[in-house]
A and B are shown apart, each in its own frame.
Chain A
Amino acid sequence: MKKLTRRDFVKKSAIAGGAIASPYFFSSSIALAAAELEVGVLFSLTGGLSIIEKSLSDATLMAIAEINAKGGVLGKQIKPILEDGASDAKTYNEKANKLVIQDRVPTVFGSYTSASRKAVLPVFEKRKNLYFYPTYYEGFECSKNVVYTGAVPNQQLSNYIPWIIKNLNKKKFFIVGSNYIYPREMAKVCKILVEQAGAEWVADEYLELGHSEWGAMVKKIKDSGCDAVLSNVVGDSVVAFYREFGNQGLKHDKLPICATVTSEIEIAAMGAQYASGSFTSFPYFQAIDTDANQSFVERYRKFVNDPKAVTHHALESSYFQVFLWAQAVEKAGEATPAAIREAVKGQEFDAPNGHVKIEPENLHVWLTPRIAQWDSMGQGVIIDEYPAPIIPLPYVAYGETASNLFCKEGGLDTSKL
């Protein structure tokens, strides 16, 4: 045998070492940067809000998986970096900072509550990053670093209030909500719309978030002489509210609860018989009877391995916003926040709820308002639907109209407020 010289040894071991190490080399993060595109996914996976936010996270991951199956974006696979906001604004702020500064992702998908969005907003504005926010909210925001894919008040209420007055023949509204910005702003819009339509509102009441003792409030509703309840109650208070409503003998056929937040999730939690006959206004309902939506629901149930899972509006927005994002990245040709933001303007997509489009001026989404009445099985029967999506107006409470936008590409026109 030939003597093993040092050179031979070094050469052979280098080759051997390279061979052994090569799988590691290809899976190391240096190589990853070329083959994968990282994005942030920031929702509450623990804590009180995880009940809803986990489904938003799952929908986002499902969209990413579907896009990856078709080849990803710009030839790369999308790698989601999942972070837990823990239902706490402080934690949201910290994780947002981590995703933007440490992980340097070009976009983060996240948030359900306005509190968490407000807590992370400075991060995206100061560091010039991009946030895709999928939840319906109160409007009054015009950040150039956020793409808002949930409904704004005009997409939930501008159709709703006139419809209640005309079709249900109601004249006296009792407005009730949870005590924070979203219900309060929604109440403002409600009051304007109610007065515009010639009806009146008799009360505007609030209960703490999470509060579940509704005895006194329902009694107030009874005593007020109203004929419709406009509910902006959020979270698990909803369940206690509807139950107490039913327990005190109130019926939806005489005194309906017309909600803006009660979705399939809350209905499942309260028991369908308590909500049967009440109404909710959303652009999306699980019961939308199109092939696209039914396939979406099935795919979602398979993805989360729960044949009874329900889909709801914020979940659907979490899903389609990723596709809008991916299209923007492809159009921009690069994955930087500024380029994506420019490219996302005007992006259109056929979402499960219908056709959606990102309004270039204010980075909100054109959505189709719908009204559903809940049946005894916990599903919404859609009884009113606009023929086409309508423009988002985040400042509608202050007089914004389609021809007089307050939030434009150049920024917010404060003189109009």
Chain B
Amino acid sequence: MFETIFIGLSVGSILLLVALGLTITYGTMGVINMAHGELVMVGAYTAVMVRIHFDLNIFYAIPAAFLMAALIGLIIERLVVRNLYGRLLDTLLATWGVGILVQQAVRLEFGLTFFDVHIEGLGVGLQRVDVPDILRETIQVGDIVIQPYRTFIIFLTVALVVLTWVLLYRTPFGTQVRAIMRNPDIAAACGIDVKRVNALTFAYGSGLAGVAGVMISGFKTVSPSMGTPMVVDGFMVVVVGGVGSLLGSVVSAGFLGQLNGIFATLSNDILARAIVFGAVILIIAWRPSGLFNFRGR
């Protein structure tokens, strides 16, 4: 019983980890970033490169991936998203195209494959990230087997959620972000540098995706196309939770995760996934603005 719940919790925490960055970018800026999955992938590849070229384990990769993904997010924001504010559905398409570009960049090793130069850790192949030994051995507590890696992910997710909450609700920067969320024009009139705040917010959300990528690489294969399915899951969580609501994303990730976990254990994973899709459809049909409606944009 405990193990079933734990699996659900774990699935939910991974969903939340991916969706957290999306919650920020979508909730605060109304930007649909279809390249979010690719940013997760960038985080995973950062972990790969850190292992191969610097011989450091994933704990070091976490800040590196955050910075790497945040940087790419910043570039995306500057070049693409900034020009599309207000055009919600167009950002969806444009970022989808950007996602393809990022994927191909990794696949083609930034074009170097054409010159027969190979950077180890990039390219079309599968890559590997090793989980540090302290997290690998299971811990036996009575009847229950605790998996340290998944537990670590849960704690990290909680920590990041708390960090994000603090950032949004307890810092001046966060106040600015929330002001822009309510009404960007009045916020600008009050002297907030909307462009700068938006850029940093987007970067922060992207950075979170990078961290998610590092954690996921510990038990999924790292490949250039690993990101695409994640953006679907991420969006379902965000939209079901209610646009821009941190609490909503937490609740919806937890709920969908448990749903998946329970059905996967009771019957099979395929049915579980189908039920999750069905639940998403029903929830949005029942409460069109999501579970926790945030009066945002």
Where the two chains meet, the residues of A that have a C-beta atom closer than 8 Å to any C-beta of B are 46-48, 50-51, 54, 179, 205-208, 210-213, 215-217, 219-220, 236, 239-240, 243-244, 246-249, 265-266, 268-271, 305-306
Contacts and interface: CB of A to CB of B under 8 A. Distances in A.
10 contacts: A208-B270, A212-B219, A213-B269, A215-B11, A215-B264, A219-B4, A240-B221, A249-B147, A268-B128, A269-B221
Given A47-B225, A243-B218, 7 more contacts: A54-B124, A207-B269, A208-B273, A210-B229, A213-B269, A236-B223, A247-B219
Interface of B: 3-4, 7, 10-11, 14, 107, 116, 118, 124-128, 130-131, 136, 138, 140, 145, 147, 149-150, 218-223, 225-226, 229, 260-261, 264-265, 268-270, 272-273
Contacts of B126: 51, 236, 239, 265-266, 268-269
A236 B44 CA distance: 15
A243 to B, nearest CB: 5
Contact of A217 (B125, B131, B226, B264): B264
B11 A213 contact: yes
Contacts of A217: 264, 269
Contacts of A271: 128, 130
Contacts, number: 99
Contacts of B124: 46, 50-51, 54
A305 B118 CA distance: 9
A211 B229 CA distance: 10
A220 B118 CA distance: 42
Given A212-B220, A219-B265, A305-B116, A269 B128 contact: yes
B118 A249 contact: no
Given A219-B4, A248-B145, A306 B118 contact: yes
A97 B128 CA distance: 37
Contacts of A205: 268
Nearest to B120: A308
A315 B259 CA distance: 41
B125 A239 contact: no
The 5 closest A-B pairs by CB, nearest first: A216-B264, A269-B126, A236-B221, A249-B138, A215-B7
B107 A46 contact: yes
A306 B119 CA distance: 11
Contacts of A269: 125-128, 221-222
A219 B3 contact: yes
A366 to B, nearest CB: 31
B223 A51 contact: yes
Given A219-B7, A268-B128, A271-B130, A243 B270 contact: no
A28 to B, nearest CB: 27
Contacts of B147: 247-249
Nearest to B130: A271
Most B C-beta atoms less than 10 A away, residue of A207, A208, A244, A247: A247
Contacts of A210: 229
Nearest to B6: A215
Contacts of A206: 268, 270
Nearest to A45: B124
A212 B223 contact: no
Contacts of B218: 243
B128 A247 contact: no
A413 B11 CA distance: 49
B270 A179 contact: yes
Contacts of A208: 269-270, 273
A51 B226 CA distance: 12
A48 B225 contact: yes
A248 B130 CA distance: 16
A263 to B, nearest CB: 12
B47 to A, nearest CB: 13
A247 B136 contact: yes
